[in-house]
Chains A and B, each alone.
Chain A
Amino acid sequence: MKLIMAIIKPFKLDDVRDALTSIGIDGLTATEVKGFGRQKGHTEIYRGAEYAISFLPKIKIELAVKDDLVEQAVETIMTTAKTGQIGDGKIFVYDLSNVVRIRTGETDADAL
């Protein structure tokens, strides 16, 4: 089992969700986050004075997947979240040692 964590552009969230659902991913968690990468930030202006925005809003998604789906899930996120512009984000894959479904107590692959 792997935990896939990806940082994507906020407006891509619905596309990514739909694409992942269609390949059989049953759930994910999304969080509003801020960060910077190669895109850096930009400047804004307030009452006549400029200031730098050095952290940009992004969405972090996390999904736990069975080993046989990992490659396909990563591929799906990559194609749907991609705009080709700087700031599209990154995908991280972690090993996942245990999973428990709280309601039933099922574990690992049964809980996914």
Chain B
Amino acid sequence: MREIRINKIAVALGAALIALVPGAASAAVDPETAYVLNSFSFLLNGALVMWMAAGFAMLEAGLVRKKNTATICLKNIALYSVAGLTFYLIGYNLMYLDVTGFIGSFSPFWGADDAAALAGTFEDGGYSASSDWFFQMVFVATAASIVSGTLAERIKLWPFLTFVLILTAIIYPIQGSWVWGGGWLSEMGFSDYAGSTLVHSVGGWAALTGAIILGARKGKYSADGRVQPIPGANLPLATLGTFILWLGWFGFNGGSVLALGSAASVIEMANVFANTNMAAVGGVLAAMILTQILYKKVDLTMALNGAIGGLVSITAEPADPSIGLAIIIGAVGGVLVVFAVPLLDKLKIDDVVGAISAHLVCGIWGTLAVALSDADATFAVQATGIVAIGAFVIVTSTILWLILKYTVGIRASEEDEANGLDKAELGLEAYPEFGPSS
């Protein structure tokens, strides 16, 4: 609904101009000022979303064992870089340029065209081209980040990055064009404000298919089916990562207002910030209370996942709900996480950081929850979008994982897994405690 929303704001701006009384104390901003503010919003909020890459890196680094820490850090900075490259090469144009309903343009190399603005002509709701490109690019990277956490500690580096390359160049942009590019789902009325489905579920589906095809870490499940937990090495780091993600989410959802050039848009952005924050609050508290009841102990990592689950849940519609509804939507996300994590373990799907539970399960819930506050959305249309995008990503990513599995192989050898991927793939240790460094 990204384009449609711009129009809404443009209409509001137009109405404000018409209502303008000469000499009134408050005047609507002129088009160039609006253009500046819109672009500024994309840049600042986009930079916040970029910082989420740091959040994912720290969350994942904290939840793996120390022998795989350097590898997961490398994967995170590498996937961010791959996502940037592919979105420049073909991703953006495939998602936003001349979308015909199901796909955009395959023309390579996105380039900024700001000629009109430089000549002094400003469209309503306009913004500099690169500010928009940058803001959209950091979203792709977020989808890819979700995959790395689930598959940590056993997937080989280069096959993983090959998957990220195709995910960010083709899979993500095509399904994105269906909604944000103005394609068939957006015409049907499907609404996903900042990407509960388009970003988080997409990453979650890709992670789920990968986890099934890759298999669990050695030792995670005993022969008789019991879970043998593999505790993360650094919970303060995981906590820091979650806080960074929480901060970055203000940019993720707030920037998705896509405008800052009017009082109406800044009010909307402020509402989005408040709702985003309170959904995370609801997710944390729900996960804490539930783990205390279920396990007689409060589980920190579940509280962290609860924060993410709450944030993902509000992402599909962070503007319309009241604060109270936002807390409830987030709390349901926190509850879903606490039940989804052991459920996946029962199915022997090994998700190291809980990304499938937090991003996929809560992404589905959040997308359905749009209908609770947005009168234009219906559960049926929301469900159609969830199923269509889910099916597309399951099929494409399954094919891709299988091709990689039967050609280059995706799984580290048993010996490399036992010794840790840091030594096997990077030839170093994240924490060298004995030798030249001490």
- Bound complex: CA A82 to CA B354 (Å): 43
Given A51-B228, A51-B229, CB of A45 within 8 Å of CB of B342: no
- Contact in complex: A45, B345 (CB < 8 Å): no
Decide yes or no whether B244 CB sits under 8 A from chain A.
no
Which of the residues B226, B231, B294, B338 comes within 8 Å of A46, measured between beta carbons?
Answer: B231
- Contact in complex: A48, B231 (CB < 8 Å): no
Neighbouring A residues of B299 by C-beta, 8 Å: 45-48
Say how far A46's CB is from chain B's closest CB, in angstroms.
4
- Bound complex: CA A44 to CA B231 (Å): 10
- Contact in complex: A47, B302 (CB < 8 Å): yes
Say how far A33's CB is from chain B's closest CB, in angstroms.
16
- Bound complex: CA A51 to CA B345 (Å): 14
Neighbouring A residues of B302 by C-beta, 8 Å: 47-48
Decide yes or no whether A102 CB sits under 8 A from chain B.
no
Decide yes or no whether B218 CB sits under 8 A from chain A.
no
Interface size of B by CB at 8 A reads 17
Interface size of A by CB at 8 A reads 8
- Bound complex: CA A44 to CA B232 (Å): 13
- Contact in complex: B295, A48 (CB < 8 Å): yes
Q: Mask for B287-313, Cβ within 8 A of A = 1, else 0?
A: 000010011010101100000000000
- Contact in complex: B301, A49 (CB < 8 Å): no
- Contact in complex: B227, A49 (CB < 8 Å): yes
Neighbouring B residues of A44 by C-beta, 8 Å: 231
- Bound complex: CA A48 to CA B228 (Å): 11
Neighbouring B residues of A47 by C-beta, 8 Å: 229, 299, 301-302, 341-342, 354
- Contact in complex: B294, A45 (CB < 8 Å): no
Interface residues of A in 40-64 (CB under 8 A from B): 44-51
- Bound complex: CA A48 to CA B290 (Å): 11
Neighbouring A residues of B291 by C-beta, 8 Å: 48
- Bound complex: CA A12 to CA B41 (Å): 57
Say how far B356's CB is from chain A's closest CB, in angstroms.
13
Neighbouring B residues of A46 by C-beta, 8 Å: 229, 231, 299, 301
Chain A interface (Cβ < 8 Å from any Cβ of B) = 44-51
Using A47-B299, A49-B226 as known contacts, list a sample of 9 further A-B pairs with CB atoms less than 8 Å apart, ordered by residue number in A. Answer: A46-B229, A46-B299, A47-B342, A48-B227, A48-B295, A48-B302, A49-B228, A49-B342, A51-B231
